[in-house]
């Protein structure tokens, strides 16, 4: 559905030439896929989205949508936004106080390049209202709706034009936490129901993993890793990717002989994936807090069993975050219950399959 090859977009800087906001990005997105571009502020997410929409002209590379060439530097090609048949949902709701909900959704069908007859307009708007469950407020001024409803109006407006692809630029960033969860679930269910291809931009890694079929991490204009949410969380390509997608415990180590054992400050740890490791090699081990599991004292044969002392806990409802001391090393653990009273000692286990090993230099 979407093919990006070697895309570059640079912006001139007064003192330092030009900065590459999008730096040689290549990507393939399938029909019906919900693909999330995620990264910190300034990583190039919105610039890449604007290049797809035709709101920015790339300096290099090509973009194809449904096999149709949208932009290229060789031969020079650029299709204007109104001819790309895309729907776009912006971070701001873009609602006007003098228009009703119905009129907002109808606006691009009355005034845009895809204007249609009255009967077709009525049909499309009613259908979009039903899909986002706003039929009952169709004649209400859009500014009198809640934030979540206004965002659904913006989504309905994009759906009504029968776009072949939807572009969403941080559409939930103005909503509170509980509302974000509700609206993102609605967006995912609705786009899957429609079979829409979606490119979704966010800086929130939890949102990216919750909504995306696949996720692409951008950093300084470069696409660092692409994969399913499970892949980027459990099999990051480098420590910085692991850090971005969730909290980590980091340990320096030296590979022992055999190579599935690594000597660390908390003692020898078995690692399941020893591919590429060799005896004497320095490595960095990464362990997610939820992978450090308190165990009963009678368990003695389990791999990677450590003696720990509880320093403090923070109760967050669905989980408890514990600060642990293992020898002189501090570790963070996430569990569903407080293991013991603060200051007490207990044992924790780490599954070898849950330990990530990276060559040094990434942290």
pLDDT at 216: 98
Q: What is the mean pLDDT of residues 247-257?
A: 94
> Closest Cα partner for 288 from 255, 246, 236?
246
**pLDDT, position 140:** 93
- Average pLDDT value for residue range 280-308: 84
Same structural domain for residues 224 and 286?
A: no
- Tell whether 209 and 253 lie within a shared domain: no
Question: Which residue bears the tokens 């979606």?
Answer: 198
| pLDDT at residue 259 in the model | 75
Q: Could you tell me which of 328, 286, 299, 336 has the C-alpha nearest to residue 311?
A: 328
Clarify whether residues 53 and 151 are in a common domain. Answer: yes
Average confidence (pLDDT) over 250-274: 90
pTM for this entry: 0.88
> Domain ends where: 186, 209, 243?
243
Bond into 258 cis (ω within 30): yes
Q: How many domains does the chain have?
A: 2
To the nearest 10 degrees (0 to 180), the angle between helices 177-194 and 147-160 is 20
**Residue 23 lies inside a defined structural domain of this protein:** yes
pLDDT in tens, 162-190: 888 999 998 888 777 777 888 888 889 88
Q: Decide if 231 is inside a domain.
A: yes
Does residue 192 surpass a pLDDT of 80? Answer: yes
Average pLDDT for 96-110:
88
> In whole angstroms, what is the distance from residue 79 CA to residue 57 CA?
10
C-alpha span between 225 and 216 (Å, rounded): 6
CATH of the domain at 173: 3.40.50.300
Residues 219 and 262 in one domain: no
Which pLDDT does position 161 carry in this prediction?
A: 83
**Residue 298: what pLDDT?**
55
| Cα separation, 362 vs 3, whole angstroms | 31
Q: Which domain holds residue 159?
A: 2-243
Of 53-57, 112-116, 125-129, 168-172, the one with minimum mean pLDDT is 112-116
Is the residue at 222 inside a domain?
A: yes
The two three-digit tokens of residue 280, written as one number: 């004497």
Q: What is the average pLDDT across 25-51?
A: 96
For residues 219 and 316, membership in a common domain is answered with no
pLDDT-derived band of residue 202, with 50, 70 and 90 as boundaries?
very high
One domain for residues 56 and 75? yes
pLDDT at 363: 57
Q: Residue 215's beta-bridge partner residues?
A: 36, 227
Residue 135 placed within a domain? yes
The answer to whether 356 and 232 are in contact (CB under 8 A) is no
Q: Give the per-residue pLDDT at 110.
A: 85
Res. 236: pLDDT tops 90: yes
User: Looking at the domain assignment, is residue 178 inside a domain?
Assistant: yes
Q: How many CB atoms lie within 10 A of CB 244?
A: 21
What is the SS3 assignment for 276?
A: coil
More confidently predicted of 37 and 161? 37
Q: Identify the CA nearest to 6 among candidates 70, 65, 73, 57.
A: 73
Residue 72, phi then psi, degrees to nearest 5: -165, 150
Q: Residue 240: is its pLDDT beyond 80?
A: yes
Q: Are residues 224 and 262 in the same domain?
A: no
Claim to verify: residue 183 and residue 287 sit in the same structural domain = no
- Residues 186-214, mean pLDDT to the nearest whole number: 92
Do residues 122 and 220 share a domain? yes
Q: Is the pLDDT of residue 98 over 60?
A: yes
* 289 pLDDT tier (thresholds 50, 70, 90): very high
- What does each C-alpha distance from 2 to 41, 53, 113, 167, 192 come to in angstroms? 24, 12, 22, 12, 17
Least confident of 29-33, 149-153, 305-309: 149-153
Is residue 21 a contact partner of residue 221, using CB atoms and an 8 Å limit? yes
Q: How many residues does the chain have?
A: 363
On whether residue 363 sits in a domain, the answer given is no
Cα–Cα distance, 81 to 103 (Å, whole number): 22
Total Cβ atoms within 10 A of residue 20: 17
Domain boundary among 243, 258, 289: 243
User: What is the domain-level CATH number for residue 309?
Assistant: 2.40.50.140
Are 167 and 257 in the same domain? no
Indicate whether 299 pLDDT > 60.
Answer: no
Q: Please give, one letter per residue, the 3-state secondary structure of 97-118.
A: CCCEHHHHHHHHHHHCCCCCCH
| One domain for residues 231 and 262 | no
Statement: residue 114 has pLDDT above 80 = no
Mean pLDDT of 268-274: 86
**151-155, 250-254, 278-282: least confident range:** 151-155
Average pLDDT of the chain is 89
Of 188, 209, 243, the residue that ends a domain is 243
- Look at residue 188 and tell me if it is in a domain: yes
State the pLDDT confidence band at 297, using cuts at 50, 70 and 90: low
322 shares a domain with 218: no
């Amino acid at each position: 559905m979407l093919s990006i090859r070697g895309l570059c977009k640079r912006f001139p800087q007064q003192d330092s030439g030009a900065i590459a906001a999008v730096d040689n990005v290549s990507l393939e997105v399938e029909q019906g896929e919900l693909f999330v571009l995620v990264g910190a502020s300034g990583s190039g997410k919105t610039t890449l989205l604007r290049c797809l929409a035709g709101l920015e002209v790339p300096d290099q590379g090509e973009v194809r949508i449904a096999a149709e060439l949208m932009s290229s530097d060789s031969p020079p090609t650029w299709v204007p936004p109104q001819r790309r048949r895309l729907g776009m949902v912006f971070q701001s709701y873009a609602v006007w106080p003098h228009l009703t909900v119905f009129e907002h959704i109808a606006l691009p069908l009355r005034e845009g390049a895809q204007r249609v007859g009255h009967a077709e307009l009525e049909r499309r708007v009613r259908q979009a209202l039903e899909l986002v469950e706003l039929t009952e407020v169709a004649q209400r001024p859009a500014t009198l709706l809640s934030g979540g409803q206004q965002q659904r109006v913006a989504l309905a407006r994009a759906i009504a034009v029968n776009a072949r692809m939807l572009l969403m630029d941080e559409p939930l960033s103005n909503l509170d936490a509980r509302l974000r969860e509700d609206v993102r679930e609605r967006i995912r269910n609705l786009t899957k129901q429609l079979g829409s291809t979606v490119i979704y931009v966010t800086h929130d890694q939890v949102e990216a993993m919750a909504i995306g079929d696949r996720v692409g991490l951008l950093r300084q204009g470069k696409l660092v890793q692409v994969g399913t949410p499970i892949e980027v969380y459990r099999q990051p390509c480098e420590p910085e990717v692991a850090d971005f997608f969730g909290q980590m415990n980091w340990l320096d180590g030296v590979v022992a002989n055999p190579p599935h054992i690594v000597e660390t400050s908390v003692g020898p740890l078995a690692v399941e994936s020893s591919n590429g490791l060799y005896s004497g090699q320095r490595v960095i081990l990464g362990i997610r807090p939820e992978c450090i599991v308190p165990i009963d004292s009678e368990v003695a044969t389990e791999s990677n069993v450590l003696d720990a002392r509880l320093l403090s806990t923070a109760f967050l409802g669905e989980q408890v975050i514990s600060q642990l001391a293992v020898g002189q090393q501090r570790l963070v653990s996430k569990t569903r219950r407080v293991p013991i009273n603060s200051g007490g000692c207990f044992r924790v286990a780490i599954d070898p399959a849950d330990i990530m090993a990276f060559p040094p230099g990434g942290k």
